[in-house]
Amino acid sequence: MTEDVFKALADPTRRRILDELAERDGQTLFEICSRLAIKHDLGLSRQAISQHLAVLESAGLVLSRREGRYKFHELNTRPLEHIVTRWLRPDTPEGTP
């Protein structure tokens, strides 16, 4: 559950992937690979990214649909919404000093 969400967010490369999907949804594995290689200097193998995507997917942060030989990935922010409210006090809801 939220257990996997925290573990998924622990890795900086996975967070970069989420950034990439937040910027442009529906990318394939190869697109994400080349984007990460170009925009950031991450020279990671295809399998590395694939495994990261698997972790993100089992955490529910990434949804994928397969079409032909392409697999498109999209970001799902639902699991992110309430993982932190667990510690946030009900007082000072937004900006009430």
| Residues 3-32 interacting with DNA (rule: CB under 7 A) | 7, 10-11, 13, 28-30
DSSP labels for 30-97?
HHHHHHHHHHS-----HHHHHHHHHHHHHTTSEEEEEETTEEEEEE--HHHHTSSTTTS-SSS-SS--
Q: Which of DNA, a second copy, none sits in contact with 50, Cβ below 5 to 8 A by type?
A: DNA
Number of Cβ atoms within 10 Å of the Cβ of 67: 8
Which of 18, 21, 36, 55 is the binder for DNA (CB under 7 A)?
Answer: 55
Q: Provide the minimum distance between the beta carbon of 87 and a second copy in the complex, in angstroms, as a whole number.
A: 5
**What DSSP designation does 10 have?**
T
Chain positions contacting a second copy, by CB under 8 A? 3, 6-7, 9-10, 12, 15, 18-19, 22, 75, 77, 80-81, 83-84, 86-89
Nearest Cα to 53, choosing from 40, 66, 38, 41? 66
Identified binder of DNA from the candidate list 24, 39, 46, 65, rule CB under 7 A: 46
Footprint of DNA (CB under 7 A): 7, 10-11, 13, 28-30, 43-48, 50-53, 55, 68-71
